[in-house]
Amino acid sequence: MKLGWSDVTPKAMWLSRRAFVSGLGAMMAAPSLARASFSTDEAPNSFEEITNYNNFYEFGFGKEDPARYAHMLRPEPWAVAIDGLVERPGSYSVADLAPENTVEERIYRLRCVEGWSMVIPWLGVPLGPILERAGVQPGARYVAFETLLDPDQMPAQKTRSMPWPYVEGLRLDEAMHPLTILATGLYGEAMPNQNGAPIRLVVPWKYGFKSIKSIVRISLTEEQPPTTWQRLQPQEYGFYANVNPDVDHPRWSQATERRIGAGLFAGRQPTEMFNGYAEHVAHLYAGMDLARDY
């Protein structure tokens, strides 16, 4: 006999999950006209580049460490807790959050704070409707995200190189923005482990470190949540981390970027404000001093 959700989850949680999943029909009926314009028509990087040049410090600090060690991660079964200031807290499978028939392709630029960039054809679902189905309470102002903590699957968590688990956060309006997705795959396939299987955040107008991988918890909070890089180096990495060619990192310029795979002689290309997504997101930061709120 196959175990069902009701066998492994307390009744209240199962009921709230059922209400959550039944909200999906409404979401699928939503118009998707505007979405096509979210994808860039720039040429995507190759699958090999996207899966062999990674930052995933749970597997080591080298760019090739994730490809080498991420086979230790077991992305199935997987549960994502949604909790905090929500009406329907619960534990959800990846299929609950991103049913296969609702997943869409988003070809996004990814700009790492280190000064390199790629173009990645993600598969995923917008985060906003997921939060709406969970029922955001009026007091919620931020969304906190947490990566799996399991040193047996993520060997560098046995070291104290960073505070584990990796955590990130967004303001609620950033999390609700239609560009913000939970990605479950790329190039039409399930998410490779080194890219954050089975489910990760992608926020294309922010430096790559905001796009937290292998998420096990999403919490709605009133207070701005801590983030791993702010904890490590608050003078260098802010909460917002919007891609901004005019605000340099204290140790290097952010005016240009190196596109991975462009070739030895391609040279660096100019970095765009909000990574080229300004028309969609600049209004979120109206009146803010982006040099102070970096």
Residues that bind ligand MTE (CB under 6 A): 54-58, 110, 112, 147, 166, 195-196, 208-209, 211-214
- In angstroms, the CA 131 to CA 178 distance is 12
In the bound state with ligand MTE, the residue whose beta carbon lies nearer, of 63 and 141, is: 63
Q: By C-beta, is 10 or 163 nearer to ligand MTE? A: 163
Residue 25 DSSP one-character state: H
Q: Which is nearer to ligand MTE, 21 or 146 (CB)?
A: 146
Q: Is the dihedral of CA 263, 267, 268, 270 positive or negative?
A: negative
- The residue among 16 and 254 lying less far from ligand MTE, judged by its C-beta, is 254
Task: Give the residue closest to ligand MTE by C-beta.
Answer: 208
List residues bridging with 200 in a β-sheet. 183
Q: Determine the Cα–Cα distance for residues 26 and 23; give it in Å rounded to an integer.
A: 6
Minimum distance, C-beta of residue 82 to ligand MTE, in the bound complex (Å):
18
Shortest CB 3 distance to ligand MTE, Å: 29
- State the distance between the two ends of the chain, measured CA to CA, in whole angstroms: 53
Q: How far is the CB of 210 from ligand MTE (least distance, A)?
A: 7
Locate tokens 């409707």: which residue?
Answer: 129
The residues, any chain, with a CB within 8 Å of residue 159's CB and separated by 6 or more, are: none
Q: Closer CB to ligand MTE, residue 61 or residue 87? A: 61
Residues 6+ apart with CB under 8 A from 52: 63, 64, 67, 194
Closest distance to ligand MTE from the beta carbon of 113 (Å)? 7
Query: Smaller CB distance to ligand MTE: residue 106 or 133?
Result: 106
Report how far residue 41's alpha carbon sits from residue 39's, in angstroms, rounded to the nearest whole number. Answer: 7
Left if phi > 0, otherwise alpha if psi is -120 to 50, otherwise beta: which for 121? beta
Least CB distance from residue 95 to ligand MTE, whole Å? 22
Q: Shortest approach of ligand MTE to residue 94 CB, angstroms?
A: 16
